[in-house]
Amino acid sequence: MLAAVRTPRLFSAAAAGALLTASLAACGSGGGPPPNEITVSSNQCGGSWQLPGPGWHTFEINNQSTGGGEIDLIDPANGAVYDEEVNLGPGTVTPMSLDVGSGRYAFLCLFDDFSPLTGATVTVPGHTAGAAAILPVTYNDLIPLAKQYQAYTEAGLKVLARETATVAADVRTGHLAAAKRDWLTAHLQYETLGAAYDAFGDFDDEVDGRADALGVNSPKWTGFYRLEYGLWHGQSVKELTPVAATLSSDVNALLASWPAQQIPLLDVGLRTHEILENALEFQLTGHDDYGSGTTLATTVANIAGTRELLSLLRPLLTPRYPALPAIYTGLTQFQSLLEQQRRPNGTWIPVSALPVRVRQAIDAACGQLDQELSPIASIAEPRNTANAF
Amino acid sequence: MPSEPVPANPLPSDSVPADPPPPARRSFLRGMAGGIAGGVIAGGAAGAAAGYAFRGDPRNPAAVADVTAIDGRLPAVPFHGKYQAGILPDPQRATAVISFDATATTRAELTELFQTVTDRARFLTAGGTPAPAGIGGAPSDSGVLGPTVVPDGLTVTFGVGSTLFDDRYGLAAQTPAHLVPMTPFPNDNLDPAQSGGDLILQLSAGNADTVIHALRDIAKNTRGGMQANWRIDGFASPARPAGTVPRNMLGFMDGVANPAVTSAKTMDSLVWVEPGAAGEPAWTAGGSYFVVRLIRMFVEFWDRVDVYEQETMIGRRRDTGFPLDGDSLHATPDYANDPNGDVVPLTAHIRLANPRTPRSTSSQILRRAYNYDRGLDQVGDLDMGLVFTCFQQDIGRQFEAVQTRLIDEPLVDYISPFGGGYFLALPGVTGPSDYYGRALLA
């Protein structure tokens, strides 16, 4: 459901400390290297280099090792990262551009099968502002957060299991009005668990899959949207009873399997913007409205899911992302805009029925938040460090 | 690009208790470069070497590159000036016209929106190297033009519609004298979803990728401040044969008889807002009324009409562009000697549009038409036509007078205006500290 992919880093922390062997590729022919060339290899991390002063600068990173690696430009005092080149192929020259300000700079080389190496420190004097360095977030930083999120999800799934059992009972006993009400409660509960969908694996398709490829008449289509379609298209108690029962049993199976599942560490940061990216794509367009007209309510639930991730990450983000307080303001304003579209009787206005100006305000707010949340994926991506800081 | 501005309007504190206190106000700009990079995005002085920029310093204007060397792209059109730079030039090869509604919630946010559009336009028209993102987020630039943003003749024309002057921003008293909602004419078939808008943006350049790059950049940086309503892409064909005037999708040369843009006197009387005119607020000085009309051409139908009939409807030869009574492209039709329309019919498009009488002189417009081509209609016919744009001093005296004369012209069977709007192209941005609409908003 959440589709973006981010590859795990080449270098794993476990590889640090492996045997160091020299493997210096032969230098290129003729003339000296360009002044901004930074040579790295398994036993050299930048050698002696200089910066002419503040301003935009492009280093050419010449990887003379026989293997791939990562090179970071760091503040050697605290390990904060100015920039990084994650996938440096052997024998390649890769540009690294940076707005250099006053401060200390050193390269950190992280090569497969070799110990991390920190090169010479270069200081740019004065008080010129440049690109800020960001303290790397480590795997160790994220592990407890992922565990907390695991617990949040488990608690949420327990609630969800009760709620889907209620819906199944409503349908089985022929109380379709109650089933509609309870369907919404349960679906919104599911939609607050936005960071876990990948970890849910096939369960996500079973519980919250769209009709897209199957078509609305396919017996293979199951889950919340299938039930929504039936409830709001006049399908019979007889037809919907197995649909609701399957939903309930699939949620129970998911809950039972949950303790064995793991939230990928990358997902904690990545999902902070992906949840609302998907809301913009599937809810605010009305794509996922199978009859109930509640995609704005779903978006409110998605905001709750985003807030949960942000609150877990807040200690890591506060020193690293100055826009964080503004994001909270934006989320609050966005939620308020959405909640104004709830009618006094508790039902929701479908997006297709919104006045143009209201819909524009909602779409603009969501797009703006997606824009502002997106840097968190990079900032909270787990990074390797030399463990020397 | 301004940094986080001084709070002007504290927001109501309606956060949930668990949240940290909200900042004084939101900013469209705060997402830029993740709010991490301390350096500002390079302005027009951004450095760029021809080809691949390995070094450029935004603080060092001498580093500005000769970007014309890149792939035959056009040089930069100076952004700063009394008038917007995209109004007088001939149509460029590629254009996009996008209508937006403002979603800024306060006058201060609206001002910030206009400042942001200004900053991005200033950078995009000059070209340069986008700010490196570091590890703090996604790249600041889409990369569509490669590592160095080439200006490629980009012009950005930014305008306002009458709906911006409603009660949202307290601008009603500043409404330009001739700015009204677009008038539906008898043969129009206007779609509200493709008409009007608080704001209009026209991006024109030498290549479609340059236009798209500029659109993505501006949209990304104004995400919360305005929301797109409708959009149409257009193109101007090369003149065929060379030295003539580009043709429209009817196969005829379009915009042969335009007023002389090299004559300041003519432009002052026909294109630029008239300073001190009755009801015209002072802030509009340097602006120009901007009419956009999206006109479908039923080209299959047209192609089934014999050429003499086509020429009779237009009033020009299809091959040469000559007026039917003339022997050169720019010959002035002599309607006085053809009072009954024996040569150029009285209902010919060019004769109705510009009857060449003393009275009609002041109704001339600066016509800037582009072709559009966007797929198919419901019966599989080609959806193509004209992005008609024109600039003028007074929409009523000019565009509407011309359009009134054209009501029920024979050509109406082959065309259908379906959208567009009336706007005021804002006064030019005069220098690095100026911004679009400053005199309106300050």
In chain B, which residues have their Cβ closer than 8 Å to the Cβ of A363?
Answer: 227
For residue A231, pLDDT over 60 is answered with yes
Chain-chain contact of A379 with B227 (C-beta, under 8 angstroms): no
Mean pLDDT of chain A: 88
The band of A36, judged by pLDDT with boundaries at 50, 70 and 90, is: confident
In chain B, which residues have their Cβ closer than 8 Å to the Cβ of A309?
Answer: none
Interface of B with A in 43-62 (CB under 8 A): 47, 53-60
Q: Which residue from B minimizes the CA distance to A95? A: B54
Three-class SS state of A350: coil
Per-residue confidence (pLDDT) for residue B43, from 0 to 100: 30
pLDDT digit string, tens, across residues B415-425: 999 999 999 99
Q: Which DSSP category does B81 fall into?
A: S
Q: Which DSSP category does B25 fall into?
A: S
The band of A27, judged by pLDDT with boundaries at 50, 70 and 90, is: very low
Give the relative orientation of helices A265-278 and A356-373 as an angle to the nearest 10 degrees: 160
The stretch A71-79 carries a mean pLDDT of 93
Which residues neighbour B82 within 8 Å (Cβ) at sequence distance 6 or greater?
Answer: B286, B427, B428, B430
User: Alpha-carbon distance B182 to B167, whole Å?
Assistant: 19
Chain-chain contact of A361 with B103 (C-beta, under 8 angstroms): yes
User: Alpha-carbon distance B99 to B441, whole Å?
Assistant: 20
User: Alpha-carbon distance A37 to A29, whole Å?
Assistant: 15
User: Alpha-carbon distance B440 to B278, whole Å?
Assistant: 18
More confident residue, B50 or A379: A379
Three-class SS state of B333: coil
For residue A201, pLDDT over 90 is answered with no
Element (H, E) at B150: none
For residue A128, pLDDT over 80 is answered with yes
pLDDT digit string, tens, across residues B134-149: 788 888 999 999 989 9
User: Are B395 and B300 spatial neighbours (Cβ–Cβ below 8 Å)?
Assistant: no
Three-class SS state of B19: coil
Chain-chain contact of A356 with B101 (C-beta, under 8 angstroms): yes
User: Which sign does the torsion angle of CA B42, B44, B49, B52 carry?
Assistant: positive
Per-residue confidence (pLDDT) for residue B70, from 0 to 100: 52
User: Are B122 and B429 spatial neighbours (Cβ–Cβ below 8 Å)?
Assistant: yes
Interface of A with B in 327-386 (CB under 8 A): 328-330, 332-333, 336, 356-357, 360-361, 363-365, 367-368, 370-372, 374-375, 377-379, 383
Interface of B with A in 229-268 (CB under 8 A): none
Chain-chain contact of A375 with B34 (C-beta, under 8 angstroms): yes
Interface of A with B in 78-107 (CB under 8 A): 81-84, 95, 97-99, 101
Best mutation target, B135, B199, B218, to test chain A (most A CBs within 10 A): B135
Tens-digit pLDDT string for chain B (442 aa): 333 333 333 333 333 333 333 343 345 543 333 333 323 333 322 222 222 222 233 433 333 444 444 566 889 999 999 999 999 999 999 999 999 999 999 999 999 999 999 999 999 999 998 888 778 888 899 999 998 999 999 999 999 999 999 999 999 999 999 999 999 999 999 999 999 999 999 999 999 999 999 999 999 999 999 999 999 999 999 999 999 999 999 999 998 989 999 999 999 999 999 988 999 999 999 999 999 999 999 999 999 999 999 999 999 999 999 999 999 999 999 999 999 999 999 999 999 999 999 999 999 999 999 999 999 999 999 999 999 999 999 999 999 999 999 999 999 999 999 999 999 999 999 999 999 999 999 8
The stretch A175-193 carries a mean pLDDT of 97
Per-residue confidence (pLDDT) for residue A319, from 0 to 100: 93
The band of A5, judged by pLDDT with boundaries at 50, 70 and 90, is: very low
User: Alpha-carbon distance B141 to B148, whole Å?
Assistant: 10
Best mutation target, A371, A373, A383, to test chain B (most B CBs within 10 A): A371
The stretch A107-135 carries a mean pLDDT of 91
Chain-chain contact of A322 with B55 (C-beta, under 8 angstroms): no
The stretch A132-149 carries a mean pLDDT of 93
In chain B, which residues have their Cβ closer than 8 Å to the Cβ of A330?
Answer: 26, 224
Q: How far is A204 from chain B (nearest CA, A)?
A: 28
Residue B134 contacts A, CB cutoff 8 Å: yes
Strands A55-63 and A37-41: parallel
For residue A330, pLDDT over 80 is answered with yes
For residue A341, pLDDT over 70 is answered with yes
Per-residue confidence (pLDDT) for residue A16, from 0 to 100: 33
Instruction: With 0.95 as the threshold, say if the pTM is over it.
Output: no
Q: How many CB pairs under 8 A join A and B?
A: 156
Joined together, the tokens standing for residue B322 give 């000559």
User: Alpha-carbon distance A244 to B375, whole Å?
Assistant: 44
Per-residue confidence (pLDDT) for residue B386, from 0 to 100: 98
> In 3D, which of A271, A247, A248, A143 has the Cα closest to residue A196?
A271
Which residues neighbour B94 within 8 Å (Cβ) at sequence distance 6 or greater?
Answer: B204, B205, B206, B207, B208, B210, B211, B233, B234, B235, B236
Interface of A with B in 28-87 (CB under 8 A): 36, 54-58, 60, 81-84
Q: How far is A369 from chain B (nearest CA, A)?
A: 8
Q: Complex ipTM, two decimals?
A: 0.85
Query: Which range is least confidently modeled, A33-47, A87-101, B43-57, B181-195?
Result: B43-57
Q: Which of A321, A336, A364 sits opposite B35 (nearest CB)?
A: A321
Per-residue confidence (pLDDT) for residue B122, from 0 to 100: 97
Q: How far is B30 from chain A (nearest CA, A)?
A: 6
Which residues neighbour B159 within 8 Å (Cβ) at sequence distance 6 or greater?
Answer: B199, B200, B201, B202, B290, B423, B424, B425, B426
Q: Which of A97, A131, A370 sits opposite B38 (nearest CB)?
A: A131
User: Which sign does the torsion angle of CA B75, B79, B85, B91 carry?
Assistant: positive
